[in-house]
Structure 1
Amino acid sequence: MGSVPDAVYAKYYAQLELVRRRKPLIHHIVNYVAMNDCANVTLSLGASPVMTHHPDELEDIVSSSSAVYVNLGTPDQERLHSMLVAVRLAERYGVPVVLDMVGVGATRFRRAMADKILSGARVGVVKGNGGEVLGLLGGVGGVRGVDSAVKVEPRVAGEVSEKYGCVVAVTGVADYVASRGRLCRIKGGSDMFTRITGAGDMAGSVIASFLAVNTDPFDACIGGLATFKAAGALSAAKCRGPGSFRAQLLDELFNFRVDGYTHVKISFEEV
């Protein structure tokens, strides 16, 4: 993979600055475990979160939003119904959607939920760890709860992208973003992300915030994940443990500047 010039990092920082100026509304239907963290991360970036999932509110909220983020953590039938309605409304109003496949590789119920959402309306970005991505292709094993010990080849992201016609982000030690024969690898971050709950969910909020100001979902995914990984590296260098890491992460996102991208490495290739 070829590395990128400094101008590319400046482009992603310009997207973050656009989030800060526009303060886009990001509609979340996410799991109860990480809801507060997702809201705070969104605020720290400069965007505005709304966390409702009541069906009677969805049209008013979705039609006013700049992005919709749905997340399969803590699933139940009511939330599944709300996710389906929100995604269909987003398609009607031209609002981009991020689907986070939390635990899809772990249970048949979540795989069925993901299939129902993806077949019901257009989704711009699908995100998950290695086990969750394999779950969409029918793969199983190596998944414990919503965590994954599965390492997937980068080409798998491309296979899922081709299957569903969307951008696919696979998160892990290195993140991969795939779309239409393009593949990006983002290295960096910190293993402190594995010491807190909801890190992947928060990454989804960051992607959705970038997607709200960028019509290219491939580019928005890269910018969001690079920013989140870089902020994680900066937080890990200053924290004393998981508790202070979580708090420091909000501060690093809030104060993030373009030189923070020195903590990540982005590279591209054709697949």
Structure 2
Amino acid sequence: MGGRVAGKVALVTGGASGIGRGCAEKLAAEGAIVVITDLQDAKGAETVAAIEKAGGKSEFLRHDATSEADWESVIGQIKARHGRLDILVNNAGIAIPGSVTEMSLADWRKQTAVNLDGVFLGTKHSIPLMRQSGDGGSIVNMSSVAGLKGSAILAGYCATKGGVRLFTKAVAMECSNAKDGIRVNSVHPGIIETPIWLSILTPGDPGTNAPPDLDAMSTTAVPLGVKGYPEDIANGVLWLASEESRYVTGAELVIDGGLSVR
């Protein structure tokens, strides 16, 4: 067990799998009490069990990140159980690919609700509890390389992740003006091996669909030539959550093997 965030209380949305799980495990390993929220009950319980087996402290709350009532409940439970919140990782997200001319308004709104509204609600309801301790805090919003550059089949996703990027900067300035000690930054993963790629299908054999070959994609698109893993993102999130980044706010931490600059 490390101690880079020892004694801090962290909330990680979408923490049952993928990047969220990686962040939860990393923060717990470095001494934080980690509250994991998700709609995946079984996977959430598995993540908590893994953290506790490794000697960390964690708990799971079922949570729809698009619901303001759920956010009020989650923050209320954290306040009642722990009395404070030091770290928020707004990680919950979905990807719905497709041409802009074919995407339904329902899918557009569903993606926006999770990826953008969820970040707004989390930030809105977490800041007051962070302020109560008087010790500041760190908000890390999960954006994407898709929030920095366009993709022909991900117009809706790019719109939400680009929104997260500028929302982060605006809230960083708001907190700075309030002198509350809360830092707000965004993280921009590239090609990372996570379950979200299962929703971005590419044609396989006739009558079938298969997820993208991330190794092949990385070989051609990523300057470093390899894909990333949740731990690569978690390491960056840990740094932003810790006092090591005390002088960083409103920034974009790009973790993509060079993909965004090619």
More helix by share: 1
Give the TM-score, by structure 1 length: 0.32
Larger radius of gyration: 2
